[in-house]
Amino acid sequence: MTVPVPGMMAGNAPLAIICGGGSLPGAVATQVSDSGRRVVLFAVRGWAEPAVVSAFPHHWVDLGRYGAFHRLMEAEGCRDVVFIGTILRPSLRQIRFDWPTLRELPRIVRAFKGGDDHMLSSFSSILAEDGYRIVGAHEVAPDILVGEGTFGRCEPSGRDRTDIALALDLLHAISPFDVGQACVTADRHVLAIEAAEGTDGVLERLVALRESGRICVPRGVGVLVKAPKAEQNQRFDLPTIGPQTIAGVARAGLAGLAVAAGATIIAEPQKVIAEADAAGIFVIGVRAPVAAAA
């Protein structure tokens, strides 16, 4: 009688990890490998970082070359696919298409209209039609999700908690619009709402607004809050935080960072905690109304 080994489902086929930018693909690959399952990384040229993917079996792939990707998937015997890391919305003109991709072009063009969810969902349905199964990074590497409660030694004050609640309500209200997943509130005032600029862009803007005198809340007041959209496909597009988020929050002069517990990915958690403690800012996982709806 064979005992099932965790991570050995799907007939021991290796897990395909499509890798965008950042360190997170490496963290997921390490966790999955450590659980005993083989991984094959598909590093997206222009986004994935060579230093991150080189530690694992990997292939470089190009956006718009689905045919080549499909042949590699078959050669490796992969059935399950994880999609992880940042891929900024590319321009259609930046992509050189191969023939199998061109056959899918009407669907791909539709994917480039509308919001990010739409683009990812379309890509996902193309994979599903070819018999692949999309799995969430948090399903194969559960430790990458933020839990409830504070990380490190700083705690949010009562005022911070009021700002967090306001921000969660705002994110919930804009959730149907397939827009950013972050906003900044300070002393019951909304300072910034994320859209195409991304979270780092929001934090840089706060630094500039403070320097120009456009916002006057003192340093150490205000929170960055991130939560997934209600309709967000949690399989491949959860909000993510890491050490660079902490550095941005500190530069922006905020008190801390709150994220939806159970629905936010954390990269390099030990480094996040050390840098948050050093900067004197709190990091907390909270129950988000938005996450509950997802």
Residues that bind its own copies (CB under 8 A): 88-92, 94, 113-115, 166, 169-170, 173-174, 176-180, 183-184, 187-198, 201, 205, 209, 213-216
The answer to whether 154 and 281 are in contact (CB under 8 A) is yes
Rounded least distance, CB 222 to its own copies, Å: 11
Rounded least distance, CB 193 to its own copies, Å: 4
What H or E segment, with its residue span, contains residue 192? strand 189-193
Instruction: Choose between 1 and 216: whose C-beta lies nearer to its own copies.
Output: 216
Instruction: Choose between 188 and 287: whose C-beta lies nearer to its own copies.
Output: 188
Rounded least distance, CB 36 to its own copies, Å: 39
Rounded least distance, CB 228 to its own copies, Å: 16
Instruction: Choose between 28 and 166: whose C-beta lies nearer to its own copies.
Output: 166
The answer to whether 262 and 146 are in contact (CB under 8 A) is yes
H-assigned helices in the chain? 24-34, 50-53, 66-76, 99-103, 105-112, 116-129, 137-140, 158-174, 198-211, 243-251, 269-279, 289-293
CA angle, 103 then 85 then 285, to 5°? 135
Instruction: Choose between 278 and 293: whose C-beta lies nearer to its own copies.
Output: 293
Give the other-Cβ count within 10 Å of 169's Cβ: 12
Rounded least distance, CB 154 to its own copies, Å: 23
Instruction: Choose between 31 and 185: whose C-beta lies nearer to its own copies.
Output: 185
